[in-house]
A and B are shown apart, each in its own frame.
Chain A
């Protein structure tokens, strides 16, 4: 069975500092990995996804993530935090694509706070 672990339910960084949100996965087959962002009272928005092409994936809003099979990790980074990055971030994994049923298994989320 697939699963995702997000280390750190809350992360605080200063504006302009590096953002690093950790995600480790467990999967019996090569996984497909996603990062979503959720702003207050809004739905989930896809930041980026890994689908076995390049291991370094670039997403929206300056975020990127690197797939490391040896470490079973897919950490999300951004070189310089902006106040607008404050939100909840979810890592998710999908193992299968069964007749369009690409259901996602999500981690418990990391709340990112930006300190002015």
Chain B
């Protein structure tokens, strides 16, 4: 596609419910990032994939958060047993290379998750 696509755009979940957020990166992009943006804050790093390999998950806030990218393209961020503090915008970004620094990362529009 022309850009990074995320779905759904908006998700309302009841506390305790599991959710899955999808990211379709730009075709051919090797690197994929997930960020969490709480209201009034800047994005915070969650995890990084190089193709299908999850090389960094240091930003995942708890073991309720799980991300995968099984075929090196589409990625899914799953949150189990959602809690109110999980309410945020979840941003996905992709970039074309993993062997050169400062390759521009393109961001999707994000998924706004509200836990009630």
Contact = CB atoms under 8 A, between A and B. Distances in A.
Contact of A108 (B42, B93, B101): B42
B60 interface: no
Size range of the interface on B? 20 to 34
Contacts of A41: 109
24 contacts: A32-B101, A43-B4, A43-B107, A44-B93, A44-B107, A46-B104, A92-B42, A94-B102, A99-B55, A99-B98, A100-B30, A100-B31, A100-B55, A100-B95, A100-B99, A101-B31, A101-B48, A101-B50, A101-B56, A102-B102, A104-B43, A106-B44, A108-B40, A109-B42
Interface string B85-108: 000000101010111011111111
Interface of B: 3-4, 30-31, 33, 40-45, 48, 50, 55-56, 59, 91, 93, 95, 97-99, 101-110
B109 A109 contact: no
A90 B110 contact: no
A98 B43 CA distance: 20
Interface of A: 4, 9, 32, 36, 41-46, 49, 51, 90, 92, 94, 97-109
